[in-house]
Every structure is written in C-alpha cells, then in structure tokens.
C-alpha cells in the first residue's frame, strides 16, 4: 500500500516540515507515488513468456506483497498467482543497478533482463547498460543491500 509522504502528513497537522521523503521507509514493492500498481502496470509474466514488456490490464489483476499487479491475460495472472516469487521482479521492482549502489530508484518497462530465471528491472536503458557491464557483481552487491535500502 502506498503511504502519504511525511510532508503531507505533517502539513495535514498544520506543521510546516522540510523532511526529505527519502527519510521514510519505502514499500517493499516499487509503485508510483499516486498508485499501488506494481511494475508500472506491465505484465511481469510476459517478460518470461513473450520476451518483451507487455502492458497489463485492469481486467486481470492480483494482489501480492502489498501491491496490485496487472496482467495481459487471465492465463498470465494465474501463472503469477500460482508462483509469484518466480515472476515478481527482484528487489521489489526497484532499479537493480540502484540497489547495487545502495539506494532505490524507479524503473521503466523497457529496461529489463532475465538472469538465471529472475527478472531484473532498471531505471533506464542507459543505466541498464552500466548494470550489464558486471551483472554478477551488481547482483551480489544488490543482494547484500536488499532490503536495507528501503530504510
């Protein structure tokens, strides 16, 4: 579930605050600030079955790890529900390169890669190019940093 920023909560109490939102713990699954939709609404199963990003639909959804996941078909939704750990992106869908560097960042559907049967997303194709220069090293660092980067 998405949480209001500390600034919004304090403003609602009539308190002026300049607390960076980075000081707040982040959700385990990356979603935009104004929604609870994981993976930018893209079908994470399609990365495995179609080898490309495919937009999900409001008609085929599932709840997992506090977020709404969308799928392009009932079949893909059912595959996900049967084994979400297999299909959900690593690091909650946050940028794999950023997590390897010790912080979090958003992702775009076009910057993706499946490595050893796991889906990794990145902030951009440019950042993905950096990540791809040492995928095993970046995965090892990100695995060490995850989930502490959420705090």
100 and 142 Cβ atoms separated by less than 8 Å? yes
- Alpha-carbon separation of residue 32 from 15, 37, 54, 73, 138 (angstroms): 25, 7, 18, 23, 24
Position 48 in a domain: yes
Domain-located, residue 84? yes
Q: What is the pLDDT of residues 82-102, one digit of tens each?
A: 999 999 999 999 999 999 999
* Percentage of residues of the chain with pLDDT beyond 70: 84
Q: What is the pLDDT of residues 48-69, one digit of tens each?
A: 999 999 999 999 999 999 999 9
DSSP string, 60-109: EEEEETTEEEEESSHHHHHHHHH-HHHHSPGGGGS-HHHHHHTS-----T
Alpha-carbon distance 69 to 87, whole Å?
11
| Within-domain flag for 1 | no
> How many distinct structural domains can be found in the chain?
1
Show the domain range for 76: 6-150
Distance between CA 89 and CA 144 in Å, rounded? 16
| Among the listed residues 89, 84, 74, 97, the one whose alpha carbon sits nearest the alpha carbon of residue 149 | 97
Report the distance separating Cα 137 and Cα 101, nearest Å.
Answer: 11
User: Is 118 within a domain?
Assistant: yes
> Taking 70 as the threshold, does the pLDDT of residue 12 lie above it?
no
User: What pTM value is reported for the model?
Assistant: 0.83
- Is 146 a domain residue? yes
């Amino acid at each position: 579930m998405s949480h209001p920023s500390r600034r919004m909560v304090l403003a609602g109490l009539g308190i002026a605050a300049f607390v960076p939102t980075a000081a707040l713990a982040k959700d385990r699954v990356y979603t935009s600030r104004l929604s609870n939709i994981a993976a930018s609404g893209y079908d994470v199963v399609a990365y495995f079955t179609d080898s490309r990003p495919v937009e999900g639909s409001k008609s085929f959804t599932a709840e997992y790890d506090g977020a709404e996941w969308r799928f392009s078909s009932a079949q893909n939704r059912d595959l996900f529900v049967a084994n979400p750990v297999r299909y959900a992106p690593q690091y909650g869908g946050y940028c794999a390169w950023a997590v390897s560097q010790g912080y979090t960042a958003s992702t775009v559907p076009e910057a993706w890669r499946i490595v050893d049967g796991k889906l990794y997303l990145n902030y951009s194709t440019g950042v993905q190019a950096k990540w791809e220069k040492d995928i095993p090293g970046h995965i090892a660092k990100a695995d060490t940093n995850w989930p502490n980067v959420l705090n």
